[in-house]
Structure 1
Amino acid sequence: MNSIRARLIAVLIGSTGLVWLLAVGWIYLSTQAEVERVLDARLMEAARMVNSLLSDHRIEAGLDKAAASQALGAFEVDHSSYERQLSCQIWSLEGTLVGRSQNAPDTRLTGARAGFSDAEVGGEQWRVFTVENQALGVRVMVGDSLQIRNRLVGDVIKGLVVPALLILPFLAGVILISVRRGLSPLSDMAQTLSARPANDLRPLSSVDLPREIAPALGALNGLFRRVQEARERERSFTAFAAHELKTPLAGVKTQAQIALASDDPAVHANALRQITLGVDRTARLVKQLLDLAALEANDAEPALAEVRAADLLEGAVAELSLPADGGPVVVDAGAGAERTVRVEPQFLSLALRNLIENALNHAPADTPVTCRIEAGGDRVVCFVVEDEGPGIPKAEMALVVQKFVRGRTRSATGSGLGLAIAQAAMARIDGTLTLENRDEGGLRASLSVPGVEAP
């Protein structure tokens, strides 16, 4: 059963029926006990009354059976009514029937000498109270048929069950209407969402909303917000990418037109060099755009692994496409070479490659870019990349990690994505990117990541 409405209706009707059934059972038992107590008291009262009449000689114990029966005729009650019908017998202590009520059996009601007792007479169960009168030499027995008692209790239960059965369909209708009205906010929410266009990501209103639905609505509005933010990122990413790609492509086209329009070999050679630079810049930009898109689109938890720090650094350098006119990349593993880090290797390698490429693009030709590993503490390992370029003005230090922000000290092949990619990669593995200008000139960029063990 996948319907919440059907479940609620079934549970409510079932629980209501069960409560009714338990109530009927409890009433039956309590009514039976109370009826037994009251009717036993009436038996006792009737027997003592007859004994009192005998003691006061209002009924003579020596009367014949016919006279005694006539004297006890007051015990007869109409069978069709709900009044009790009592049967009375007067027996001598020697065992002779002295008198009885009209419909009382001829057989002795009970063999008990005094008090309450249960007996079977003629296949019928009787409840009997006996009073022994030693002075007159008789026993007074007043009996009550248990069948009549059970009929009385049954009539009480029938009076409860029949109205309950008649009311049950009405109660089921009330439950059905109540559940439908109670779940109407969900239906209204579904209708509102169905009527919305695909690009409408406004949060749903929470006015007059039941508290039980508020968590679901909050989660849904949170999803709308995240989807809206993702769409805004994609929109801005597409706009910036289109703008950045337009410039190198336009330059390539211009240089190609120059080469076609000129017969000078020197002009041809210069145009081809410029075309090569434009293609390299475009290729690097496309690669960075793909890396950044992969980082932002990957919402899965990073697959952390324990990797030797020196292996990560050497692998990142080996994957670089070094420019022909760039300086050398010097790898100095240092004291932290044997440290082990717990990271997503792909993300850390991506950040390292972009930092080294950024350093190569901004450092003067023939100047080295130094990469080394430092122990930043008991549980921290730092990957440091240093160059001898112009550095970053302090006013722009916090801005250059944003996408497509190039700053004043921009390079000819830069696109403003290298530091943004490194920052995004560090955020995925709980690392930090730190940028600072060196006193002797140039920029120091360090990646701090969790380490596994001290050296």
Structure 2
Amino acid sequence: MSLRLRLFLILALATGAIWFSAVIWIEHSTRAQVTRVLDARLAEAARMVSSLLEDRRIAMAGDGAPVAIPLDPHGDYAHQLSCQIWSLQGTLVGQSEGAPQVQLTGAQGTGYSQSTVGGETWRVYTVENPALGVRVMVGDSLGVRDRLVSGVIEGLLLPMALILPLLAAALWVSLGRGLAPMHRLAEALRLRSPSDLSPLPAGPVPAEMRPMRGALDDLFARLAKAREAERDFTAFAAHELKTPLAGLRTQAQIARIAPDEATRSRALQSIERSVDRTDRLVRQLLELSAVEREGAAAERVDLGQLSAEICADLAPLAETRGVALICDIPQGSEQTLPASGFLLHTALRNLVENALQASSEGGKVRISRRGAVLLVEDDGPGIPETLRARACERFVRGTRGGDGSGLGLAIARAAMERLGGGLELPPSAGQGQRAELHLPAA
């Protein structure tokens, strides 16, 4: 359902409900007014007839036949009134033309009453005149009153029935004009090139659309930034892959034309290092991609077991570099916490691998825990202060870059951010560097 049709239906239903409520209120109010006015007219007519009897302007026949009672001829309503004059002994002594032949009401005394005569309900006002020994009754049928009220309501509903289609058309056209800025915005977005991430053109915008316009501009800015980062990442990755591949080609050529076994052995060792570097770079690129897709679904992770697995995986690298790899986190239930095992494993492994690459032969790399913080410490040269602010950016290497790709810290930070934690690299007082993985709260 379109927004225009939805708004139209809402406004149409609301308008109809208001009009229907107004009709009910007018019907109730009109009925009350009609009852009050016509009751007053009944009382006025009954008192008038009683007054005329007292003034002997209406003479009662002596032969006992009911006399004809004239009522006020002014107005159509006078023709709907019926008048009867009964003696206190219960004899009909006078009546108006068209009045029922039976007594209008059996109520005693002066006042209003209702009765049913001939299957029809009547509203009657009685004036009792003891001096003349008569009761004057003037009444009208409630059906007459209902017809009066119905006439008023019909007078309202007929114009309403004629106006409703015009109102609906006006609502439809007005909504179309009111939603025109939204349609113009949609058309501008439809015609925009996929590569155009510039802000929307400036111009007058309705207040209700300003938040949406601002959100779109913010989205375009974030998409442009993400696209730029993706281009930079692709360029850096291509450059980093090109360097070892070029080395591989050169060393392969050297090995092929080597004049002696020693030269060929050195070339093959260089090829092996280039392959290892390329393998690590590809693995880290895949890890970075996986980290950015991975959800932070929690599971029970044993930090001691996780650290032991990482130490076992990196033991060959530690042995090759002549570095002691120490794990100070015991295994056990008291070392478990809810976290994503993949993200935590990726972050910790990259920190340990970076620490091994940065450590000199004979150095130490230690994994420990302090409350909700995992620590990875090495005794290498540390991160220079000039690079500390950018150390976690992609492809940023330290002064001892060596075979590193500059992705380890970036992967660790991205993994911890997905976990809801963080990575900190505090300055070291002397030799070495400490990396802190701040775990998320349980």
Report what 1:177 is aligned to.
Answer: 173
Q: Secondary structure at the match of 2:135?
A: strand
**Are 2:388 and 1:392 equivalent residues in the alignment?**
no
Asked if 2 retains the 8 angstrom alpha-carbon contact of 1:89 and 1:140, the reply is yes
**Are 2:317 and 1:317 equivalent residues in the alignment?**
no
Superposition pairs of residues 416-435 of structure 1, within 5 angstroms: 416-429=406-419, 430-435=421-426
Structure 2 letter corresponding to 1:89: Q
Q: Secondary structure at the match of 1:129?
A: strand
Superposition pairs of residues 38-437 of structure 1, within 5 angstroms: 38-62=37-61, 68-69=67-68, 72-76=69-73, 81=76, 85-114=80-109, 115-204=111-200, 208-298=204-294, 300=295, 302-320=296-314, 321-322=316-317, 325-333=320-328, 339-365=335-361, 367-375=362-370, 379-387=371-379, 389-411=380-402, 413-429=403-419, 430-437=421-428
Q: Is the alpha carbon distance of 1:222 and 1:312 closer, same or farther for their aligned partners in structure 2, counting shifts above 3 Å?
A: same
Distance in 1 of aligned mates of 2:149 and 2:17: 21
Asked if 2 retains the 8 angstrom alpha-carbon contact of 1:291 and 1:421, the reply is yes
Structure 2 letter corresponding to 1:327: G
Cα deviation code 1:112-150 (max 9, x no counterpart) = 333222334444433222222222222222222333222
Structure 1 letter corresponding to 2:25: W
Percent of aligned pairs with the same residue? 48
Task: Measure how far apart 1:438 and its partner are.
Answer: 6.0
Distance in 2 of aligned mates of 1:356 and 1:117: 103
Task: Measure how far apart 1:235 and its partner are.
Answer: 0.9
Structure 1 letter corresponding to 2:396: V
Task: Measure how far apart 1:297 and its partner are.
Answer: 4.1
Task: Measure how far apart 1:14 and its partner are.
Answer: 2.4
TM-score (norm. length: structure 2) = 0.87
Report what 1:444 is aligned to.
Answer: 433
Asked if 2 retains the 8 angstrom alpha-carbon contact of 1:335 and 1:374, the reply is no
Task: Measure how far apart 1:197 and its partner are.
Answer: 1.6
TM-score (norm. length: structure 1) = 0.85
Distance in 2 of aligned mates of 1:358 and 1:119: 105
Q: Secondary structure at the match of 1:322?
A: helix
Task: Measure how far apart 1:374 and its partner are.
Answer: 4.0
Asked if 1 retains the 8 angstrom alpha-carbon contact of 2:114 and 2:124, the reply is yes
Q: Is the alpha carbon distance of 1:269 and 1:324 closer, same or farther for their aligned partners in structure 2, counting shifts above 3 Å?
A: farther
Q: Is the alpha carbon distance of 1:347 and 1:108 closer, same or farther for their aligned partners in structure 2, counting shifts above 3 Å?
A: closer
Cα deviation code 1:241-266 (max 9, x no counterpart) = 11111211112112222333443433
Q: Which runs of 5+ in 1 are unaligned?
A: none
Q: Is the alpha carbon distance of 1:437 and 1:128 closer, same or farther for their aligned partners in structure 2, counting shifts above 3 Å?
A: closer
Aligned-residue Cα RMSD (Å) equals: 3.0
Structure 2 letter corresponding to 1:317: C
Task: Measure how far apart 1:403 and its partner are.
Answer: 1.5
Distance in 2 of aligned mates of 1:288 and 1:368: 24
Task: Measure how far apart 1:160 and its partner are.
Answer: 0.9
Q: Is the alpha carbon distance of 1:451 and 1:312 closer, same or farther for their aligned partners in structure 2, counting shifts above 3 Å?
A: farther
Distance in 2 of aligned mates of 1:82 and 1:213: 61
Distance in 1 of aligned mates of 2:78 and 2:186: 63
Q: Is the alpha carbon distance of 1:131 and 1:355 closer, same or farther for their aligned partners in structure 2, counting shifts above 3 Å?
A: closer
Q: Which runs of 5+ in 2 are unaligned?
A: none
Q: Is the alpha carbon distance of 1:45 and 1:294 closer, same or farther for their aligned partners in structure 2, counting shifts above 3 Å?
A: same
Aligned length: 438
Task: Measure how far apart 1:84 and its partner are.
Answer: 5.3
